[in-house]
Every structure is written in C-alpha cells, then in structure tokens.
Chain A
Amino acid sequence: MIRRPGRLALIAVLTAAGGLLVTSALNDTLTYYRTPDEVAADPTLARDRVRLSGKVVPGSLRRDGEVAVFQLADGGHEVTVRQRGMPPDTFREGEEAVVEGRLGTDGVFHADHVVLRHGNEYGPSSPAAPEPTDAR
C-alpha cells in the first residue's frame, strides 16, 4: 500500500495520462455525419473525413468499372459520390445510404467506405448478433 499523498498523486498522474491518450486518439478518428445540404452550404466541412448520409437520387446510379457513381440528395442539394468497389446491392435508388470519405476539390465526394444498412429498417435482431458492420 502506497502512502496516501503518494497514492493521490499517482492517481492524478494516471488520470491525466489516460485523458491525454483518449483526447489524442480522438483527434481525426472522430468522424462527423454531414448531409448534402450542409456540404453544399459549406464545402470546407467535408475536406476532412466525414460520413455523408442522404438518399440515392433515382436514375443517378451507374457503374464505371469498379467505381459506383451516384448522387446523394438531402434538403434539395445533391452531391456526386464516387465509391470504389461495388458493395452488394448497398445502394438502391431512392434508398438511404451512408458513405465515408472526403470531398475533393472537384466537388465530388470520394468515398472509400460504406456504412451498411440492411433493409429499410435497422433490423431487429438479437442484441449482439454480429450483423454486417462495415463494408470495407
């Protein structure tokens, strides 16, 4: 058993170290959700990595080799998304989709990661059933 003042100091140091670890780890791993109208209003929002969520505009989805190109819309604004790799039927026209990536200087959103949703609903299932989590 360490004596009391020493123990308090040790706890303080450990807490500070833990806090530093957490805050530095959160730096650029915290990804914000944005919508096409927010990005249209302020493109600098999406220069860092963000998650873009919106509806896939009907008629906009096409496949260009290994790249899926489509438009995500929300609040009257549309953003063109280029997603490398075709995830299994993830994008359906008129359905919600969430992609992760960066807005390029060309105004096109380059996504490299699809946050999967299955079906129209967040499917009810057993609490820890490992449903598809991420398509990389």
Chain B
Amino acid sequence: MLGDLGTTSLTAGLVSAVLAALLWLRVALLGAAARPARLASAATLLAAAAACALLEAALLGHDFSVRFVAENGGRHVPVYYTITSLWSAMDGSLLLWLLILCGYGALLARRRTPDRLRAYAMVVVSVATTLFFALSAFAADPFQAVHPVPLDGPGPNPLLQQHPAMGVHPPLLYAGYLGMVVPFALALAAPLAGPAGRDWVRAARPWALIAWATLTAGIAVGAWWSYAVLGWGGYWAWDPVENASLLPWLTATAFLHTSMGGGRSRDRWNTVLACAGFLLVLLGTFLTRSGAVASVHAFTESPLGPLLLGFVLLAVLAATVLTGRNRPAPGPGRAPLLSRRTAVLVNAVLLVTVAAAVLIGTVLPLLTEPLTGTRASVGPGYYERTAVPLAVVLLLLAGVTPALWVRDRAAALRRLALPGLAALATVAAVGLLSRPGPAALTAFGAAAFVLTGLLAEVAARRRRPGRAWAAILAHAGLALVAVGVAGSSAYGQADERTVRVGETLRVADVSVRLVSVHRGIDEGRMVVRATTQLSGTGTTRTATPTLRYDPARDTAVTVPAISSGPHRDAYLTLIAVAADGSSATLRLAVNPLVGLIWAGGALITVGGLAALAVSARSGRPRRPDPVDRRVPAGVAA
C-alpha cells in the first residue's frame, strides 16, 4: 500500500518536473504568466516531500514489504536511527536529494513575476530535477514490493547507527551540494536572458553563500563524526568520497571571492566557477555512487553509474555550449599588484589549482587500470605534497586581506607590518621550542599572520560593523583550522600495546590503566567493553572504549573513548581482547589542538551566514527591472 503510493508519488514528481521545465521555458521564451510554472514547481516539491514522508512512514511502521525497508530497516533499530536510515542507503538518500533539490527550485521560483534570467534558470533546475526523478523512478525505486515479506530487516549499516551526526551531516552536505545548482543554472541562463542576465552574479551570490555555508558545516560535521566514530582517530583521509565534497567547496570558495561587488571585473571566472561547482557535485556523485573508484566508502556496483556519467557529460556539454559564446565585456584595465582584484585573481588561481590537484589524485586510479593494466591507489602523501603547500599559500594570501580594505598603498603595507612580525616571531618561537616540521611550522606562521591582522582589524572596527565582518570570521576560522590540523598532525602521539588487567599504557603525560574487560550481548549485538582509568594532568576518569559486532551485517565497529580537554584530546581505542578477558590491545593517542578544527569550521560557517545577511541587506539590484519593482526590498536577494 505504502509502496504503491510511493511509486505513484515518484511518477507524479517526474511528470510535474517535465511539466515545470516546459512551462518555465514558455515563461522565458514567450513571457507567459508564471503562475502555472510556479504551480508545477510546487507540485514537484510536493511529490518529493510525499515520497520522503511515505518512505519514513514505511520505515517507522516496519513495513518490510517495501524493498528499502526490508534492506535497511529493522525492529531493533532506535527511532532516531530509523528516521535517519532514509539516507543510510542510496535509493532512500536519492529521495532526500530530490526533496532538497525541489526545495531550492521552489525557493528560486517564489517570485510572483520572475525576470527572464530566473525563468531560464528554472528551466535548468527543472531539467536537473527531471533527470534525478527519472533516476529514482526507473533505476533506484526504493518502493518496490518484496515477496515474500520478511519479518525483520538488518537495520542500517552499524557504522551509521553510532553517532547523532548521522542526522545532521548528510542533510547538510546535500543542502550544500544541491545549492550549487542555482548559481550553475543562473550562469547558464545569463547568456540567454539578454539584459536581465547581466546582473546574474549578484543574483547567484546569496545562493552560493547558502550552499557554501551548509557545505562547510557538512564537511566539518563529517570530519568530527569520522573522528568520533572511527577508531583510527583521523578526521580526514583524502578518500575519494571526502575529496568529492572538498572539490565543489574549493570552487565555491573561489566563486564567493570573484563574485564580490557584483563580480563585473572577473566575468569569465564567475561563469567558469559557478558551473564548476555543480559539475563537480555531479562528478563526485558519479565517482562515489557508481563504484567506479575503489574506495571503502563506495557503493556496490549499481546501474546508476552509466546514467550518472551521462548526466555529468550532459551538464558539461550544456555549460560549454551555453556559456562558451559569451564574450565578456573588456575589463577595466590593469590592476595594481596590491589590490583586491589581483588578490581575488591569485586566490581563484590557487583554489582552482588545489581543486585540479585533488581531482587528478581522485580520478587517477580510474585511469591507471585501462592504461597500465594494474589497479592503483593514490596515497595521502600525494595530497600532502600538492594540496597542503598550496593551502598554506592560500592562508598567507588571506592574511593580506586587511591591507586591501584601505586605498592608500603605504597605509596598506603598514597594516601588514605587525602581522608579519607576529608570524616571524611565532615561527621562531615554535621552531626553537619544538620541531614540528617545515609544513606545520609554515602553517603556524601563516595562521599567526592571518589572526594578528584580523585582530588589529577588529580592534579598529569595533564601532563600525560592516561587510568586512563576514570575511574576518571566515578567515579567522580558516586560520584556526590550519592551527588545528598542523598541531594535531605535528604533535600527535600514539602507542598501541597489549596490556594485562592492572597494567598501564602511557603516551606523553596521559596514562591508561586497564581495570577490566566485559563481554555481553546488547540489542542483538556482541559488545566488548574495556573499563579503564584514564589519567591526564591531575585528573582521573573512567573511560570505556568499546568494540561492537553486528551479526546481521557481519560488521565490527570500534567506539573510541574520547576525553576532550581545552588544548588536547586523549583518544582511546579498543583494538582487540584476549579470549579469556585477561588482556586487551589498546591504542592511546594524544591529539593536541583538534578542538580548533571544529571551532574553526563553525566560525567559517558563521562567516558565510554573516556574508549572506550582508548580501540580503544590500543585495537589491542597482538597476531593478521594471517587473521587479513590486518585490519588497530585502526579499530581492
């Protein structure tokens, strides 16, 4: 019953998405009334919401006649993880994907009298919606009936039932990915829309900010999640799936910089970056969902691979054909070396270079097999030599920002004197006191350069809030992330040993004494728990790292015990236990400064939202089209 309704809602969504594309084309070409088109877009959103709600109802009601529930539901799964299991496997997560995509479409279509730019953009969004609805309805219908109906299901992958971030990370990430569709659609629409298309960058910027801020938050939550759940204690492993989320973030970051102030001076860059964001999202979806790249995250071979590759090629073709003819107006002449225009250009070049290096490392394993006959993988060392040094250069560039807020060249250079001194002092002090290695040392220096400059700026601007605040917050967050990454990788210490009950494992000034080992059964899962006394600087607490084995999925999960302090975490993992419970293999890691990574991620997100608030306040078009007059100020963004 639920299954039939679900399949019907997918079909309805597909039909209304096709209808929406045609009706919006009519609005754009003939200037027809927008009301039918808006209704069609609203119907598409309604269909996606209905599909999501029906699958949630089936999951919560344990309706195992629905294929997705039979594969991913389970009576033993807590309610929270039953709700989140909607996006714990591909077919269900595609519904969430559709819901968010349709949500963006409905938001873009919300004006009563859209201009031609938005009408053409809605055609692009509707076509993308159609393609994904078709994918869901024909190749990945989660509502298919199952015969015979099983009595219970295995539940979602046990790893996805370990941490509350499961309810936050995927939706945030999807909101980030799919937000890229609007700047992409506006960039494609601009050459078609005539005079209305001239101001497309101003229209695209708020959307890019929403997408970028949610993507940043999604990546940060994902890093925190993998740190808190996966026993190896890392937050980033340069895995293809992680790279797929980083790539659009990099190009979107570049776009946020080139699109400042209406983006007139970097027209070509804006078009390329806005397109690249969504194209990389599609490419990443293809890479991670087709089983094409050997990643432990990757999915089983699925029929979606060729279809998704088709989408990528179609989008590339559309972007090239539509924007390739676009001749940008000649720029306003040569820019001085120390100017915002030059800095934005250098920033864009660096970010695109990082993205290119990461992209090459991610897709190279795909190419080595047909070329050399052997499968290969690209190790983290590759990224540490390419992306990391460039990221440090980018951080230094962010430190130059305060100098770009004044017109006078001498005053600008004076502004960099204090941060420069602070950076050199930091490098000298840190280098003398410890030996963190050249990369970390440079990162510390660059972070000091950025933070000192920003602090001076904050001190000068206390009473004059303005648009610079967004940049101050985001750049400060970036510097904190850099300190956290450099500190935890340079000063992190770990040891792994088998200890008997009563023995102690020591790393730096943290020691762990094994008190006892328990084995038990909990909700159908075998659970091994080590009770330990964790002693840090002056404090002692009980820590219980755990190993869980789920027979339904034949999967073992390590749940580390993390004791977070102000400047470092003690991270304890249970690796194995002896059969008689007399000893356990423990891994104790001391990770300094990791907390700064999460704090920095939050700060960058807040910076993005602050920029959004600023652009919503000042985002009214300078030369509003006559049809736009009726739109109240403030909504115009």
Contacts and interface: CB of A to CB of B under 8 A. Distances in A.
Contacts of B331: 1
Given A122-B298, A131-B159, A31 B379 contact: yes
A1 B329 CA distance: 12
Interface in B322-371: 330-335, 349, 353, 356-357, 360-361, 364, 368
A24 B357 CA distance: 12
Contacts of A21: 357, 385-386
A48 to B, nearest CB: 12
Interface residues of A, number: 46
Contacts of B333: 1
A129 B385 contact: no
B357 A122 contact: no
B157 to A, nearest CB: 5
B625 interface: no
Contact of B385 (A29, A87, A119): A29
Interface stretch (A54-62, A72-80, A101-109, A110-118): A110-118
Interface in A82-136: 85-89, 115-136
A16 to B, nearest CB: 12
Interface in B526-582: 547, 549, 553-556, 558, 574-576
A70 to B, nearest CB: 14
Contacts of A131: 157, 159, 226, 230, 296-297
A132 B235 CA distance: 10
B374 interface: yes
A30 B365 CA distance: 9
Interface stretch (B17-25, B85-93, B469-477): B85-93
A119 to B, nearest CB: 5
A9 interface: no
A124 B90 contact: yes
A66 B585 contact: yes
Nearest to A116: B296
Interface in B255-292: 285, 288-289, 291
Contacts of A31: 376-379
Interface string B170-182: 1001000000000
Interface stretch (B30-38, B188-196, B238-246): B238-246
A18 interface: yes
Nearest to B302: A124
Q: Interface size for chain B: under 10, 10 to 19, 20 to 34, or 35 or more residues?
A: 35 or more
Contacts of A116: 296
A25 to B, nearest CB: 4
Contacts of A25: 357, 381-382, 385-386
B525 interface: no
A2 interface: yes
Contact of B374 (A14, A33, A85, A134): A33
Contact of B356 (A18, A24, A130): A18
Interface string B488-530: 0000000011100000000000000000000000000000000
B434 interface: no
A88 B237 contact: no
Contacts of A127: 90, 93, 170, 173, 241, 244, 285, 288-289, 297
Nearest to B90: A124
Contacts of A41: none
A86 B166 contact: no
Contacts of B241: 127-128, 130
B160 A129 contact: yes
Among A65, A129, A131, the most chain B Cβ lie within 10 Å of the Cβ of: A129
B169 interface: yes
B242 A130 contact: yes
Contacts of B376: 30-33
A1 B296 contact: no
Contacts of B402: none
B311 interface: no
A111 to B, nearest CB: 14
Contact of A120 (B237, B294, B554): B554
Given A86-B585, A128-B244, A22 B357 contact: yes
B114 interface: no
A128 B170 contact: yes
Contact of A125 (B88, B218, B382): B88
Contact of A133 (B90, B170, B239, B349): B239
Given A22-B360, A131-B230, A132-B232, A122 B244 contact: no
Contact of A126 (B93, B332, B335, B386): B93
A21 B583 CA distance: 48
B553 A123 contact: yes
B300 A29 contact: no
A130 B88 contact: no
A126 B244 contact: no
A66 B230 contact: no
B234 interface: yes
Given A118-B296, A130-B222, 12 more contacts: A18-B356, A22-B386, A26-B361, A29-B382, A30-B364, A32-B368, A51-B377, A123-B553, A129-B88, A130-B223, A131-B230, A134-B232
In the A-B complex, the 5 residue pairs with the closest CB atoms: A130-B226, A29-B381, A25-B385, A33-B375, A29-B382
29 contacts: A30-B368, A30-B379, A31-B378, A31-B379, A32-B374, A66-B497, A85-B496, A85-B587, A87-B575, A88-B556, A89-B549, A119-B554, A121-B300, A122-B291, A122-B297, A124-B157, A126-B88, A126-B160, A127-B90, A127-B93, A127-B289, A129-B88, A129-B157, A130-B242, A130-B297, A131-B226, A132-B159, A133-B237, A134-B234
Interface of B: 71-72, 87-90, 93, 156-157, 159-160, 166, 169-170, 173, 218, 222-223, 225-226, 229-232, 234, 237, 239, 241-242, 244-245, 285, 288-289, 291, 294, 296-300, 330-335, 349, 353, 356-357, 360-361, 364, 368, 374-382, 385-386, 496-498, 547, 549, 553-556, 558, 574-576, 585, 587
